[in-house]
Amino acid sequence: MQTAYMSTRRISLASGVLPEHDAVTVAQTAAAAGYTDAGLMVRPDDWNAGWESELLDIKAAHGIGFLDVEVLWIPAGGALDDGHKLIADVGVRLGADHLLVVSDEDDPEALAPALEQISAWCQGTSLKPMLEFLRITAVQSLGQARELLAAAEAHRFGILIDSLHLARSREYGVALNAAQHSYVQLCDGPAACDDSREALLTDALDLRSAPGEGELPLGQLLAALPEDVPLSLEVRSKWYRDIYPDPLARAAAILEQTQKFLGEINHG
C-alpha cells in the first residue's frame, strides 16, 4: 500500500501506534502499509523468543528495518538486571538500529554506571542507545539529557527527541546538535498541556495526532535536522485506535497523513 507523496526518508511504524498488538503484528503491519521500518516493544516478562525468527523472516522478505527496540527503563538508583539486558540482546539479534532508554534516575553519579553498562551491551553491534527525555520520568528535558550524558564519560548515547515531549519541555527553538539525534519520534498534538502527571500521561498515551493534524511546530523541528533523519511515527492516539480498530487501516492512515504533511512542508 503506497501513498501519493513518496519520500526517500526512512519512516518507521512505532510500536505505540498499535499498543494492543505484539511485535510480529507490528512488523507485518509496517511492511504491508508501506513503511520502511518498524519499531518493536520488548517486554522481558512476556517476550516470546520464537517471535525473533518470525521477525527476521519478515525483515528479509519485505526489506524493512527495525529502527528501534524499546523501552529500557533505568530505575531509580540505576541498577540494571537481566531483563534490561534482554531488551538490548533482542535488539542486537534483530539487527535493530537504536535502543530506546528512559531513566528514573537523574543523579549523574548514579546514572553514569548504567549508561556505561548499556553502552557496553551495544558496543560492536548495530544498536545505538538513545536517551529519551519526557516530563513523566526523572530526565525531563533536552538540556537535562545533555548535562547527564556530558557527566558520564564512557558511553555512546545519543538523545532521542519526541516532538510532543519537546513541546512539553518548552524547548522548541533550542539549537540542536544533529549528531546527537540519529532519529526522531514524530507526532502532532495540542499546543499545551496541564503540568500534572496525570494530564501529561494522558497527553502522551492518548491525545497525539498524526503530523499536520495538531498545533505543534513540527516544520521548525524538522528544519533544524538533516533532511534524511529517520522518523518514528509515535502517534499514540485514542482517536486513531477508536476510528481504525484494524491495525493495517490505522497504520496506513497515519502514514498517508504524514506523507501529505511532508509533501506540504517540502513544497510549501
Q: By percentage, how much of the chain surpasses pLDDT 70?
A: 97
Give residue 245's pLDDT band: very low, low, confident or very high (50, 70, 90).
very high
Predicted local confidence at residue 153, as pLDDT: 87
Residue-wise pLDDT for 50-81, tens only, equals 999 999 999 999 999 999 999 999 999 999 99
Please write down the HEC assignment for all residues of 8-25: CCCEEECHHHCCCCCHHH
Give residue 3's pLDDT band: very low, low, confident or very high (50, 70, 90).
very low
The pTM of the full predicted model, rounded to 2 decimals, is 0.95
Alpha-carbon distance values, 107 to 74, 77, 110, 114, 168 (Å): 12, 8, 5, 11, 22
Alpha-carbon distance values, 151 to 80, 114, 115 (Å): 19, 13, 11
pLDDT surpassing 50 at residue 1: no
* Omega before 71 within 30 of 0, i.e. cis: yes
Provide the H-helix boundaries in the chain.
23-33, 50-62, 82-94, 108-122, 142-151, 163-168, 197-206, 218-223, 238-243, 247-267
235-248 average pLDDT score: 98
Architecture in CATH for domain 11-267: Alpha-Beta Barrel (3.20)
Hey, where are the domains in the chain? 11-267
Rounded Cα distance, 98 and 79, in Å: 21
